[in-house]
Structure 1
Amino acid sequence: GADLQARKGALLDQIKVLDGLVDGPDLSPDDWIRRYSLEASLMDIYKSEELFWQRRGGQNWLLKGDANTAYFQAIANG
């Protein structure tokens, strides 16, 4: 929900700051480790969001049906 969106925004902001430092002096190894860790956390959030929308889409399909169900049944049944 909103907490996940806030966390995603914070991670993106932190990554943006570290990416801005790349243009200047080289990042330290610790900074690179931190950046990759932030990126991994962001990927986890993206996976969670994708799973949420897959489940929600499946639930909507089960509850509401496919808009073309009658059409496909008519074709399948002759």
Structure 2
Amino acid sequence: MLEEIEESGPLSPEMYSIKVDVSAELHELLVNEEIFWLQQSHERWLLKGDLNTDYYHKIANGRKRKNTIHSVKVGDVEIEGTDNLITHATEFYKNFFGPAPGNEFHMDPNTWATNEKLDEKDNVDLCRAFTEAEVKEALFAMAHNRAPGPDNIPVEFYQVC
């Protein structure tokens, strides 16, 4: 009711004070309700929870089902299936982050002076394949106990092999 009055015009200082008090009380009630349900869920989890129980599996599988994307609607087309969803997401982000057609930047070949450019020998050296010795040197120069790379294999594994 106070918000409806406020939409038609400014509230008087007394009405504004009442609105602030009601908002604070509502916020406190909502926080208390959230705490209550959080405590209830913890109590249930402690009683039936982290054992290999039916309750545990229902919670874990329910969370997985809730967080799984089964289909996406794009315009009038509905995309279903894991492979189709991955393909669509990949193409979307390729188009989203990739270069737009016509936006390619071509540089003038005379931008740098001759002494600032790489000569053919340097270019060949930069484009050649890595040697086994170079790879081995780089591998053994890596520090131990670091986070693994995208393959989830730590550097120590490669160093021992």
**TM-score normalized by the length of structure 2:** 0.31
Deviations 1:36-64 (A, max 9, x none): 00000001101110110111010010111
Q: Which has the higher contact order (CA 8 A, sep 6+)?
A: 1
Alignment gaps of 5+ in structure 1: 1-16, 69-78
Q: CA RMSD in A?
A: 1.2
Alignment gaps of 5+ in structure 2: 51-55, 58-161
Structure 1 residue runs of 4 or more that deviate by more than 2 Å after TM superposition: none
Q: Check if 1:44 corresponds to 2:28.
A: yes
Q: Read off the aligned partner of 1:19 and give its amino acid letter.
A: E
| Aligned length, in residue pairs | 52
SS of equivalent to 1:26: coil
Residue 37 of structure 2 is matched in structure 1 by 53
Larger strand proportion of the pair: 2
Q: Kindly name which structure, 1 or 2, has the bigger radius of gyration based on alpha carbons.
A: 2
Larger helix proportion of the pair: 1
Give the whole-Å Cα distance in 1 for the aligned partners of 2:25 and 2:31: 10
Fraction of identical pairs, as percent: 31
Residue 99 of structure 2 is matched in structure 1 by none
Q: Read off the aligned partner of 1:59 and give its amino acid letter.
A: E
Q: Read off the aligned partner of 1:52 and give its amino acid letter.
A: F
User: How far does residue 24 in structure 1 lie from its aligned partner after superposition?
Assistant: 1.7
Residue 8 of structure 1 is matched in structure 2 by none
